[in-house]
């Protein structure tokens, strides 16, 4: 009988992580490598991708950094083509690339709103579409959503919240399209507040004001979220699809 812990291993698999140049994307890439996967790294900043690639290689796995703007469908297609040329397979997609803004709804411009949706929702779809065309049965996609697709947190973030709620809907639809027909599982992670470049942009005192909603009394560690990701992309979650898994220290139940 196979040891249950072996189901969490990703040896021989290739993972593609978007938004891999900073924050949660770095933690995801590093932990995927620690679990045994080679990692394709995508983001707009190639210099920062090289730093993530060094972390992946330090964990003993191969890394392929590719400068990509996922809001451009053609660049997503080229990204997947480059990954296939290098490794011949893509087993895992982590749709992590995202941006956040905070504009009052009466003053937010069409350009500001569209720029967020273009990356957070449209870009995730283009990346999933390109990967879905080449993925084999047993592959897994995880879309990084947010608790702001479920609840609110005091900032005027209509574009961000709408994009993340839309990403959860996209997750469900792709799961039903690609489950039995293609053997691809599609799930979402809805993180709470984890240390990242995004949280560093919050105004002073903002997170302190949310402390009563954090039932564990602290922000999350990115590697805690990455551990949940490893479960979702591994055989350990082989009967889980179409779900949005909330990892938020209890914020959404307060």
| Percent of the chain at pLDDT exceeding 70 | 96
206 is catalytic: no
pTM above 0.85, yes or no: yes
Distance (Å, whole) CA 131 – CA 134:
6
Q: Contact 40/17 with Cβ under 8 angstroms?
A: yes
Whole-number pLDDT of residue 22:
93
- Closest by Cα among 160, 171, 86, 159 to 127: 171
Mean pLDDT for the chain overall: 95
On whether residue 134 sits in a domain, the answer given is yes
On whether residue 250 sits in a domain, the answer given is no
Name the active-site residue from 87, 125, 160, 202.
Answer: 160
On whether residue 76 sits in a domain, the answer given is yes
- Residues 164-188 have a mean pLDDT of 98
Question: 196 pLDDT exceeds 70?
Answer: no
- Residues 185-205 have a mean pLDDT of 81
Residue-wise pLDDT for 128-164, tens only, equals 999 999 999 999 999 999 999 999 988 999 999 999 9
Question: 199 pLDDT exceeds 70?
Answer: no
| Total structural domains within the chain | 1
Question: 251 pLDDT exceeds 90?
Answer: yes
Q: Contact 186/241 with Cβ under 8 angstroms?
A: yes
Q: Contact 33/61 with Cβ under 8 angstroms?
A: yes
Question: 42 pLDDT exceeds 80?
Answer: yes
The CATH number given to whatever domain includes residue 45 is 3.40.50.720
| Positive or negative torsion for Cα 148, 151, 155, 161 | positive
On whether residue 41 sits in a domain, the answer given is yes
**Two tokens, residue 10:** 């990703």
| Positive or negative torsion for Cα 189, 192, 196, 200 | positive
On whether residue 176 sits in a domain, the answer given is yes
On whether residue 253 sits in a domain, the answer given is no
Residue-wise pLDDT for 218-250, tens only, equals 989 999 999 999 999 999 999 999 999 999 999
Domain range for 8: 4-245
- Residue with the bigger pLDDT between 175 and 203: it is 175
On whether residue 251 sits in a domain, the answer given is no
Q: Contact 40/66 with Cβ under 8 angstroms?
A: yes
Give the range among 51-60, 142-151, 192-201 with minimum mean pLDDT. Answer: 192-201
Question: 200 pLDDT exceeds 90?
Answer: no
- Residues 10-38 have a mean pLDDT of 97
Residue-wise pLDDT for 67-115, tens only, equals 999 999 999 999 999 999 999 999 999 999 999 999 999 999 999 999 9
- Residues 49-61 have a mean pLDDT of 98
Distance (Å, whole) CA 114 – CA 11:
39
Torsion (CA) 128, 133, 135, 138 in degrees, nearest 10: 80
Strands (E), 19-165: 38-43, 63-67, 92-95, 140-144
On whether residue 148 sits in a domain, the answer given is yes
Alpha carbon 155 to its chain centroid, in Å, reads 22
């Amino acid at each position: 009988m196979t040891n249950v812990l072996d189901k969490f291993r990703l040896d021989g698999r290739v993972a593609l992580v978007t938004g891999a140049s900073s924050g949660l994307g770095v933690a995801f890439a590093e932990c995927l490598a620690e679990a045994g996967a080679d990692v394709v790294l995508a983001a707009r900043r190639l210099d920062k991708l090289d730093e993530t690639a060094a972390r992946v290689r330090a964990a003993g796995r191969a890394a392929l950094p590719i400068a990509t703007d996922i809001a451009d469908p053609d660049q997503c297609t080229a990204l997947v083509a480059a990954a296939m040329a290098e490794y011949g397979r893509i087993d895992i997609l982590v749709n992590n690339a995202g941006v956040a803004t905070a504009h009052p709804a009466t003053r937010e411009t069409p350009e500001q709103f569209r720029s967020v949706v273009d990356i957070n929702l449209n870009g995730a779809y283009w990346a999933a579409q390109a990967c879905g065309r080449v993925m084999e049965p047993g592959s897994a996609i995880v879309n990084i959503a947010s608790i702001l697709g479920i609840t609110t947190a005091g900032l005027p973030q209509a574009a961000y919240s709408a994009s993340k709620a839309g990403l959860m809907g996209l997750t469900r639809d792709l799961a039903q399209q690609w489950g039995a027909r293609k053997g691809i599982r599609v799930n979402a992670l809805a993180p709470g507040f984890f240390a990242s470049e995004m949280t560093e942009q919050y105004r002073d005192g903002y997170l302190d004001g949310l402390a009563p909603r954090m039932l564990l009394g602290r922000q999350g560690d990115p590697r805690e979220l990455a551990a949940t990701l490893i479960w979702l992309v591994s055989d350990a979650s082989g009967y889980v699809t179409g779900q949005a898994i909330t990892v938020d220290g209890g914020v959404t139940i307060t």
